[in-house]
Amino acid sequence: MGFDIANEAANQGAEVVLISGPTHLNVQNSSIKLIRVTSAQEMYDACLECYYDVAIAAAAVADYRPKNVASQKIKKSEATFSIELEKTKDILAALGEQKKNQFLIGFALETENEIEHAKQKIQKKNLDLIVLNSLKDSGAGFGSPTNKVTFISKDFNIEPKELKSKEEVAQDIINKVIQFYDA
């Protein structure tokens, strides 16, 4: 979804920086500056460094990471094994804290109380718009060329969308950015 959003923005004339974790995907528009990262910390640093006019956080990094990273292979010795985890930095919350005149869009993937949880995320992270995905919707999001989303504005205006291609959803998202700046 993030690659589709970046391509749509670039096709409409925006200067785009796409920060991506490991993937086989490549940008379609050569004007897009692609920054590839491999860790949550690298993603955090790159996002804060490249926070210009608009930020669209189409996917989240892991919420937790191993507290201690082994320097060598961990040999099988016990019947059970535990790994202690620690929270990663919340990139979207950090962007929301630093927001001045930027337009900040986040995504939410929810499985229950979708609308309420998305509204809480808008307030907690100082978002202008959230794009809500529900795992209950067939054809929405992951492993599919389609997506079914609901837009929720910072004023809690709820705008459900029908099932569309990810390219069409990207167009809808970029149109929201354009509307913000035309207002």
Packed helices 91-98 and 40-49: angle between N→C axes, nearest 10 degrees = 20
pLDDT band (50, 70, 90) for residue 141: low
Let me know if residue 99 belongs to a domain.
yes
- Kindly state whether residue 6 falls inside one of the protein's structural domains: yes
Domain count, the chain: 1
In a domain, 49, yes or no: yes
- Highest mean pLDDT (candidates 9-23, 51-65, 75-89, 109-123): 9-23
**Residue 139: per-residue pLDDT:** 67
CATH of the domain at 51: 3.40.50.10300
Domain containing 153 equals 2-62+87-182
In-domain check, residue 55: yes
Using an 8 Å Cβ cutoff, are 27 and 21 in contact?
Answer: no
For residue 80, tell me if it sits in a domain.
no
What is the mean pLDDT of the segment spanning 145-153?
93
Would 150 be classed as within a structural domain? yes
- pTM of this structure: 0.91
- Contact 64/48 with Cβ under 8 angstroms? no
- The answer as to whether 73 is a domain residue is no
Residue 74 in any domain: the answer is no
Query: Is the predicted pLDDT of residue 26 greater than 70, yes or no?
Result: yes
Which amino acid appears at position 91 of this protein? I
